[in-house]
Chain A
Amino acid sequence: MQMQLVDKSLGSPQHPLLLAPTRLRTWSRPGGTCGDGEGAGGVPHPIPSLRPPAAGTMEIVYVYVKKRSEFGKQCNFSDHQAELNIDIAPNPELAEQFVERNPVDTGIQCSVSMSEHEANTERFEMETRGVNHVEGGWPKDVNPLELEQTIRFRKKVEKDENYINAIMQLGSIMEHCIKQNNAIDIYEEYFNDEEAVEVTEEAPSAKTINVFRDPQEIKRAATHLSWHPDGNRKLAVAYSCLDFQRAPVGMSNDSYIWDLENPNKPELALKPSSPLVTLEYNPKDSHVLLGGCYNGQIACWDTRKGSLVADLSTIEFSHRDPVYGTIWLQSKTGTECFSASTDGQVMWWDIRKISEPTEVVIMDITRKEQLENALGAISLEFESTLPTKFMVGTEQGIIISCNRKIVCTFSGHHGPIYALQRNPFYPKNFLTVGDWTARIWSEDSRESSIMWTKYHMAYLTDAAWSPVRPAVFFTTKMDGTLDIWDFVFKQCDPALSLKVCDEALFCLRVQDNGCLIACGSQLGMTTLLEVSSGLSTLQRNERNIASSMFERETRREKILEARHREMRLKEKGKAEGRDEEQRDEGLATDLEALVSKAEEEFFDIIFAELKKQEADAIKPKPMPQQPSSEEVQVAQEGEEATGERVGDEEEEDLA
């Protein structure tokens, strides 16, 4: 077979058996027409042959010749070296007809192209069913229900040699273990009788469990909290704005009851006519709540009846100022309560007839029952174990202890007493919070508190004892911190100090189990905290230690008080003596007398302080200052009392 390369353009003589090339692949310039088709089936290998560019197409043609007799003959393939058939050099002139495109952005992918498709499966129903097992495993010819057949099968197996060998072997292993079991109990607990010594070394800690936010847009402060008496699953929070006449317009009056499980939405809203300052659950009947309003009225709710007020006191007979304290009384009917307000009155109510109070007591410490002299009451305390006594903390920093009438007063705070609570284990001692300190008092010691904290940087707003540990109490401050004090552990600092939020914390309530604490802030956020178990479980000997601490401090105060009284009596005695002399001399003018009286009082206070310091330091202190010539007389009386050697010298000088 001959193959000839034919260049059509040259018009060379054609072989008679030339096959005219028909459809051939053509290459064309961009913009030109595309050549059509592929090479025809009979063209084995198009070897490009160039035609000079004319009419815009280039035809590459391969022509070969085959003898007719060789048609259908088998192919004899042979191998030969690569031959360069054609070499088309680039024609640089062609480049001028093109514009270079740079960069060229083409996507190249070497993998299978895939597409994303979503499918939504149809829901199919599932059902849970039990399977009733029937005895299985029996071979086909044995019917498990037929006793005869099963017995026969079993007998057959027992005759099997494998069976016998297996049993003998397994039997010996098994016997070994059985005997082992019988010999020794390998899981015996040793030292079971000894009590596990519990040493809780963990540091006290508390963590926030939940936060309940005021759903209202205009935020109000959470001023009072009350736990639900049964089960403690609910919390009642009273919201109001305590800034005097600065309640924003449109502020809602609602207060809420929250369910601890659902912090997103309050369980019930209580709608009074004026915002609630305090709110208390009735410990006897958990559906009834008592609220003290900002306008001085007392309102009560029944949660079964809905969120509107069930009963409201008449405004003429109510308080004239916001009701800051409401407490339920222990009575047989469970309907009695009393309330206190800064208008100086404490009123008793029976909620069955709430239109007017059953009794009114005026907090006038001069005992003249004058409303003008009355002190505004801010906090109220009532201990159910002492049914007739109650205590009132006033705006002026004085605590009044009453037994339906005023009995005695305790003074010691510089500012309003925001919290007042008796120790649940030792009711004779109570905790107060006011100004920048928290103080613990004993009923026996009237002049001063027996224990007190240092002066803090922020005002203290509320305090509560822990119901499980007699030595632990909690305080909240205006800078948003919650302090947990444990005075059997540390006396000068709180055992734990937590920053709960950035705004001030206004109120605090501990749940009966001593573990959960709820505190309310200025922006209406109530935070629920859980205290570590070390702070909420009674430690060994804690009660003894706490009671001995209280007694010790009380005794100390009593001693100081006694000494102080002695001092004062001595002062009085001396002062009276000197005064008489002065009068005889006829020198005293009103002004001078007043001045000397003032100086006396001043020195009395100083000496009392000195005495205290002396008692603490157990060392004689130096004189406070050099007295001026005018005050020599009075000073000398004082010096007599304090310094030993120094006083004697002065006396001698005088004499």
Chain B
Amino acid sequence: MNKWTNTGQGPGLLISSVPGPTATGLGEPQAEVEETLKRIQSHKGVIGTMVVNAEGIPIRTTLDNSTTVQYAGLLHQLTMKARSTVRDIDPQNDLTFLRIRSKKHEIMVAPDKEYLLIVIQNPCE
């Protein structure tokens, strides 16, 4: 009978989600953010991911700059409009998610008070 014992592992082989201090100085919560974004990007059909702040400045993006800037500016305005529409109809309501399905792909916008998470996905056909 073989018994698998957990032989002592050196620190080099530690598999942890906490990266050691790196040159960029990321802390743990930030690492989670990274991981979340990476996970989102790795889903099937996802073309691009970006995070935009309240002024429309792209904070994080996986697409090229010009496309990012375009998406950021346009979707920001659209989200504001959608949110104001929802609130006009019912002031106690609020926008939770916005999905735009086009011929080529689907743009999904998750709005927050200050930030927008935008994902472009090619739905499975």
Contacts and interface: CB of A to CB of B under 8 A. Distances in A.
B86 interface: no
A162 B51 CA distance: 13
B112 A164 contact: no
B40 A163 contact: no
Contacts of B39: 171, 175
A178 B46 contact: yes
Interface in B14-34: 24, 29-30, 32-33
Interface in A135-158: 135-139, 153-155, 157-158
A137 B55 contact: yes
B99 interface: yes
B43 A169 contact: no
Nearest to A137: B55
B124 A167 contact: no
Interface in B103-125: 106, 108, 110-115, 117, 119, 121, 123-125
Contacts of A133: 73
A137 B32 contact: no
A181 B124 contact: yes
A183 to B, nearest CB: 8
B59 interface: yes
Interface string B83-111: 00000000000001101010000101011
Contact of A158 (B33, B40, B55): B33
Contacts of B97: 173, 177
Q: Helix, strand, loop or mixed for chain A's interface?
A: helix
B60 interface: yes
A71 interface: no
Contact of B36 (A137, A159, A161, A168): A168
A23 to B, nearest CB: 67
Contacts of B117: 166-167, 170-171, 174
B37 A175 contact: no
Given A168-B32, A170-B112, A171-B117, A182 B43 contact: yes
A169 B40 CA distance: 13
Given A167-B36, A170-B112, A185 B56 contact: no
A181 B45 contact: yes
Contacts of A171: 33, 36-37, 39-40, 117
A645 interface: no
Contact of B33 (A139, A164, A187): A164
A201 to B, nearest CB: 33
A73 interface: no
A133 to B, nearest CB: 7
A168 to B, nearest CB: 6
Contacts of B56: 136-137
A179 interface: yes
A359 B113 CA distance: 93
A360 B110 CA distance: 87
What range describes how many residues of A lie at the interface?
20 to 34
B119 A167 contact: no
B60 A181 contact: no
B78 interface: no
Contacts of B53: 157
A167 B101 contact: no
Given A157-B53, A164-B30, A178 B59 contact: no
Contacts of A154: 59-60
A169 B110 CA distance: 9
Nearest to B112: A166
A173 B96 contact: yes
A345 to B, nearest CB: 67
Contacts of A170: 110-112, 115, 117
Given A154-B59, A158-B59, A178-B46, A168 B124 contact: no
A133 B74 CA distance: 12
Interface in A94-146: 133, 135-139
Contact of B124 (A136, A155, A157, A182): A182
A177 B99 contact: yes
Nearest to B29: A164
Given A163-B115, A174-B117, A187-B101, A182 B33 contact: no
B63 interface: no
A162 B101 CA distance: 29
A168 B59 contact: no
B114 A167 contact: no
Contact of B121 (A135, A155, A158, A181): A181
A182 B45 contact: yes
Contact of B40 (A138, A164, A174, A187): A174
Nearest to A181: B123
Contacts of B110: 170, 173-174
B69 interface: yes
A169 to B, nearest CB: 7
B43 A178 contact: yes
Contact of A185 (B37, B59, B60, B124): B124
B46 A166 contact: no
A154 to B, nearest CB: 5
B3 interface: no
A449 to B, nearest CB: 58
Contacts of B33: 158, 163-164, 167-168, 171
B41 to A, nearest CB: 10
Contacts of B114: 162-163, 166
Contacts of A155: 24
A547 to B, nearest CB: 45
B102 to A, nearest CB: 11
Given A158-B30, A167-B37, A178 B115 contact: no
Nearest to A133: B73
Given A166-B114, A170-B115, A177-B108, A157 B59 contact: yes
B57 interface: yes
Given A139-B55, A174-B40, A175-B43, 20 more contacts: A137-B55, A138-B55, A138-B57, A154-B59, A155-B24, A158-B60, A162-B114, A163-B33, A163-B115, A166-B114, A167-B36, A169-B112, A170-B112, A170-B115, A170-B117, A171-B117, A173-B97, A178-B121, A179-B43, A181-B121
16 contacts: A133-B73, A136-B56, A154-B60, A157-B59, A158-B33, A162-B115, A163-B59, A164-B30, A170-B110, A170-B115, A171-B40, A175-B39, A178-B43, A181-B121, A185-B123, A187-B101
Nearest first, the 4 closest Cβ-Cβ pairs linking A and B are A137-B55, A171-B36, A170-B110, A170-B117
Interface of A: 133, 135-139, 153-155, 157-159, 161-164, 166-175, 177-179, 181-182, 185, 187
